[in-house]
Amino acid sequence: MKIRTKINLTFLTIFTFIFLVVGFILGINSSRTLRQETSQAVVNINNAHAEHLRTYLNSEKEVISILGASTVFRDFLKLSKNSDQYQSEKMRVEKRLVRSIGSVPQIQELFILDKNGIIVASNDTATEGIDKSTDDYFINGKEEVHIKDFYFSEITKDYAYAISAPIKDDSTQKLLGIVVARMYTKNLNAIIESDVALGSTGENFIINSEKYFLTPSKYLGADVILKQKVETQNTADCFAPEEIAEMKEKAVNEYAHASHAAFTSYVDYRGKKIIGTHAYIPEVSWCLITKIDEAEILAPVYNLLWIYIFSFLTALILFFVLSNFLAQRIVNPIYQLRDGMKIVESGNLDYKIGIAGTDEVSQLAKSFDSLVVAVKKSRAEVDKKVKAQTQEIAGKAAEMSDQQKAILNILEDVEEEKEKTTILAKDLEKFKLAVDNASDHIVITDPDGLILYANRGVERITGFSIKEVLGQKAGNKQNWGGQMAQGVYQKLWQTIKKDKKNFIGELNNRHKNGEPYEVIASISPVLNAAGQVIFFVSLERDISKEKQIDKAKTEFVSLASHQLRTPLSAINWYAEMLLAGDVGKLKPQQQQYLEEIYRGNQRMVDLVNALLNVSRLELGTFTIEPSEINIVTLAESVLNELVVQIRDKKQRVEKKYDKKLPVKYSADEKLLRIVFQNLLSNAIKYTPAQGKISLSIWPEKDKIKIEVKDTGMGIPKNQQAKIFEKLFRADNVRATDTEGTGLGLYIVKALMDAIKGKINFQSVENKGTTFWIEMPATGWQKKQGTKTIS
Amino acid sequence: MLNKKIGKEKLHKHIILVVEDERPLQEAIKAKLIKEGFEVVTARAVREAYNFLKDIKNVEAIWLDHYLLGQENGLDFVVAVKENNQWIKIPIFVVSNTASPDKVQTYLRLGVHKYYTKADNRLDQIIKDIKKFLNKGEE
């Protein structure tokens, strides 16, 4: 909170507090005084009016009682009706009545009842003879003066009260009759009429013993008379028995009494708060009520309050202005100081607050100014130092950042290396496992051939334990080697150590138990970056079993070729002789049958030959003996052999031999013949009569290509994948021709594989088939084997 | 001995020694050769054939199979024949079903005239070749 606000608030709070306390005390006091004063005034007014009323009523009673004692009336009443004087006396009485009314203006009507209650004389003669014996004023007026309570007179059509007094025989005191005066009520109204002292809201009114209004209400008018009751604390107290008893004993002038304090703050018949009192009127058992509205009494207090508030506010504003002005005077220099400090704080050390004067704030400002000068000076020095240090730190930070980067890089590299190493270790583990458990004999040696590592295959194949052979020279007489001529080993070492090349070859070894075995060995030198041998890796596979199987197969093939062909030869030659008529001419049917036998036998021979070729091919033991041949000549010769079949089927043969074809081509004539025979005979066989067969041969890049195309039955699409399988024959071919062996294309494919050639085809069923052969333009490679293919 | 006389009497008949262990084949060869005008001597083992050569001086051709009865085969016989100067010029026609190339090569190197695979050749064709060779020699 600002100082100015604090000063203002403090002053205002104190001021307001004092004002409120004073106002409160004043208000309470003045309202209490006003109440007391008013209360007293009300009591006084009430007393005065009550006295007046009683006096009035008593005087009226007096008047009527005097009238009752009038000898005129007495005499008249003593007369008999029938007497002569009666009428004259009556007139006298009547005159007297009228005269009385004239002299007592309050009297409305005056009449005389006889002792039986009959009106015998009246100022209004019309009423004579009316029986009033049951009337209150008759009954109660027999002994003394009686005031009959308010009633509504049917005769006058007005409210009235009546006073009756007995007329007695002056000697005997016997009742002669009663004089009755009906009184105007307006006089009563006048008596109790509001006093000026009751202000604008105060009023007096009378109620009877039944608490009905007898005089008009200031607020409700005259209609309330005998019609509305007033049930308040005031009226209840007025008719309290002790009050009545007390009042009855008191003389009229004794009425005023100090003890009879006014009621304060009770609620009147309107429900309004009033200050009021009452007075019991014993003569008529009435009650005079006097009251005034509290609001009216307190009005001056409220007025005072408003004035008080107004003056309070005025004083407040004035006070505020004053205190503000004062605060301003005190605070302004402080603000100046504060603002100056802010400017300095924001960095302007050249700023001077410079408050003139000799007070505390001015002194403070001056001290601050000199402090700032001092600070400025020291700061300049500090800045200088800091600048120097900052530069130094920045340099070091850059250095450190570089170092950190370098370290991070190294860490990354290390991490990478670690990962690589882990992967390598895993790979190495895998490789080691693989090598350890490989079925082949694997040995790693140093450059001198001393064994560094041997796998389990070594133990299994050689019979020597790994422990035994480690450190020994590999393939030495000491272990599994040294079984072959010295030259072989010399050549081996020459290859791997001097030439630093891979050695592959078959070697004869010896098992630990002395049994010889054959291996195919692959020994590779492992070189370092400088090209020096670090170690050798030797892989050896035991091929003894394969060799044995190979030998067995070879023997089987030669045996089969002999044994199968011998009976076939017998059939062949005998049939031949029979057909030649060597033992006599055959009958035509015999001739025909024999020809079938001969042909069947030829097929069997072909089949056996084909099977033999296949087995040789599979063994890989067949020989390829290339010689310089002319491909076209060979093709023509094969076509010539097939000329009979072609002519039989009336097929057309189209030949296309490229001019660029070499005159001499290096190939195995027998094998190439088999290729041509197979492809061409198939084309002829599976092409219907009058079909076309095309043979094309041409060179293309480094290849010689042969194409055999037919318009035959084709190969079903779903069987094309199997066409080169052994003994496979397509469904459509099998249905039409029984002579095929299912070996022809298999043999051609095997041959092509052996000479690094290719065979391909394209076929659409019932449209035709095209076969392509690709052979290396450089010719066939020689292959040494044990068998030729016939 | 009987054959010897006959051979001398019938000048134009060539004497041929057929060494073949398989009886049905031997019969067929013999029958066909006779039909073709040959005088035929048959043997089933090397020793037997060798004896015939010794006994019958004018054998003009030898028909030889590879596998024969007994321990020795056609090669042994060829070696024996070619060792003897008297017989060195007798043409040998190997007719066998055992067509392994090494054997064929061996026979040809030892000086046999021709090698035939039985199953692949007609009798008349082989005999025609023999006749042609013999007549050529005569001319």
Is the pLDDT confidence value at A186 over 90? no
What confidence tier does A635 reach under pLDDT thresholds 50, 70, 90?
very high
What's the whole-number mean pLDDT along residues A446-474?
91
- pLDDT value of position A654: 94
- Which residues is A526 bridged to in the sheet? A535
- pLDDT value of position B9: 44
Q: Is B128 on the interface with A (CB under 8 A)?
A: no
Question: Residue B126: closest CA among chain A residues belongs to which residue?
Answer: A573
Which member of A574, A786, A790 has the closest CB to residue B28? A574
Residues of chain B with Cβ-Cβ distance to A577 below 8 Å are: 28, 31-32, 35, 123
Lowest mean pLDDT across A207-216, A672-681, A736-745: A736-745
Mutate to test the interface with B, among A569, A571, A582, A605 (most CBs of B within 10 A): A569
Hey, are the CB atoms on A566 and B28 less than 8 Å from each other? no
- pLDDT value of position B10: 47
Hey, are the CB atoms on A576 and B123 less than 8 Å from each other? yes
What confidence tier does B4 reach under pLDDT thresholds 50, 70, 90?
very low
Please list the alpha-helical segments (H only) found in B41-100.
46-55, 74-83
Residues 6+ apart with CB under 8 A from A141: A164, A165, A166, A178, A180
Is the pLDDT confidence value at A494 over 60? yes
* Structural domain includes residue B104: yes
Mutate to test the interface with A, among B33, B120, B127 (most CBs of A within 10 A): B120
Q: Is B94 helix (H, G, I), strand (E, B) or coil?
A: strand
* Structural domain includes residue B77: yes
CB A665 within 8 A of CB A626: no
* Helix H or strand E segment including A502: none
Question: Which residue in the block uniquely carries the two structure tokens 């704080």?
Answer: A345
Which member of B99, B104, B124 has the closest CB to residue A576? B124
Which member of B25, B35, B101 has the closest CB to residue A566? B25
- pLDDT value of position A666: 93
The whole domain housing B104 covers 14-132
What's the whole-number mean pLDDT along residues A627-642?
91
- As for how many domains chain B has, the answer is 1
Question: Which residue in the block uniquely carries the two structure tokens 């009879």?
Answer: A260
Q: Is B118 on the interface with A (CB under 8 A)?
A: yes
Q: Is the dihedral of CA A410, A412, A417, A418 positive or negative?
A: positive
What confidence tier does A254 reach under pLDDT thresholds 50, 70, 90?
low
- pLDDT value of position A659: 92
User: DSSP class of residue B13?
Assistant: P
Q: What distance in Å separates residue B126's CA from the closest CA in chain A?
A: 11
- pLDDT value of position A785: 62
Burial class (CB in 10 A: 0-12, 13-18, 19+), B80: middle
Hey, are the CB atoms on A577 and B98 less than 8 Å from each other? no
Helix-then-strand count for chain B, H and E? 6, 5
Residues of A600-637 as b/e, b for ≥16 C-beta within 10 angstroms? ebbebbebbbbbbbbbbbebebbbbbbeebebbebbee
* Structural domain includes residue B75: yes
> Strands, DSSP E only, in B20-125?
38-43, 61-64, 92-96, 114-117
Hey, are the CB atoms on A787 and B98 less than 8 Å from each other? no
Q: What distance in Å separates residue B75's CA from the closest CA in chain A?
A: 16
- pLDDT value of position A127: 81
Is the pLDDT confidence value at A562 over 50? yes
**Over the stretch A478-493, which tens digit does the pLDDT of each residue have?**
889 888 888 888 888 8
Q: CA-to-CA distance for A748 and A674, rounded, in angstroms?
A: 7
Mutate to test the interface with B, among A551, A557, A559, A562 (most CBs of B within 10 A): A562
Residues of chain A with Cβ-Cβ distance to B101 below 8 Å are: 623, 785-788
Residues 6+ apart with CB under 8 A from A581: none
What's the whole-number mean pLDDT along residues A639-652?
90
Among residues A110, A14, A24, the alpha carbon closest in space to that of A67 is found at A110
Residues 6+ apart with CB under 8 A from A40: A262
* Structural domain includes residue B138: no
Is the pLDDT confidence value at A665 over 90? yes
> Strands, DSSP E only, in A94-221?
107-114, 119-122, 146-153, 158-168, 175-183, 203-207
* Structural domain includes residue B36: yes
Which member of B29, B66, B99 has the closest CB to residue A790? B99
Q: CA-to-CA distance for A82 and A78, rounded, in angstroms?
A: 12
What confidence tier does A36 reach under pLDDT thresholds 50, 70, 90?
confident
Is the pLDDT confidence value at B52 over 70? yes
What confidence tier does A545 reach under pLDDT thresholds 50, 70, 90?
confident
Q: What is the ipTM of this complex?
A: 0.84
Hey, are the CB atoms on B97 and A569 less than 8 Å from each other? yes
Is the pLDDT confidence value at A680 over 60? yes
CB A419 within 8 A of CB A426: no
Question: Which residue in the block uniquely carries the two structure tokens 């003894």?
Answer: A544
Of residues A736 and A21, the one with the higher pLDDT is A21
B57: CATH? 3.40.50.2300
Hey, are the CB atoms on A787 and B24 less than 8 Å from each other? no
Q: Is B22 on the interface with A (CB under 8 A)?
A: yes
- pLDDT value of position B1: 44
Residues of chain A with Cβ-Cβ distance to B122 below 8 Å are: 572-573, 576
- pLDDT value of position A789: 56
Q: What distance in Å separates residue A632's CA from the closest CA in chain B?
A: 25
Of residues A776 and A348, the one with the higher pLDDT is A776
Mutate to test the interface with A, among B100, B107, B108, B126 (most CBs of A within 10 A): B100
Which member of B24, B35, B101 has the closest CB to residue A787? B101
What's the whole-number mean pLDDT along residues B27-48?
92
- Which residues is A266 bridged to in the sheet? A274
Q: What is the rounded average pLDDT for all residues in chain A?
A: 85
Lowest mean pLDDT across A95-109, A663-677, A707-721: A95-109
Question: Residue B119: closest CA among chain A residues belongs to which residue?
Answer: A569
Is the pLDDT confidence value at B2 over 50? no
* Structural domain includes residue B70: yes
List residues of A whose CB lies inside 8 A of any B CB: 558, 561-562, 564-566, 568-570, 572-574, 576-577, 580, 582, 605, 608-609, 623, 785-788, 790
- pLDDT value of position A253: 60
* Structural domain includes residue B71: yes
What's the whole-number mean pLDDT along residues B49-68?
91
Q: Is B97 on the interface with A (CB under 8 A)?
A: yes
Which member of A572, A582, A785 has the closest CB to residue B119? A572
User: DSSP class of residue A171?
Assistant: T
What confidence tier does A619 reach under pLDDT thresholds 50, 70, 90?
low
What confidence tier does A628 reach under pLDDT thresholds 50, 70, 90?
very high
Lowest mean pLDDT across A110-114, A478-482, B2-6: B2-6
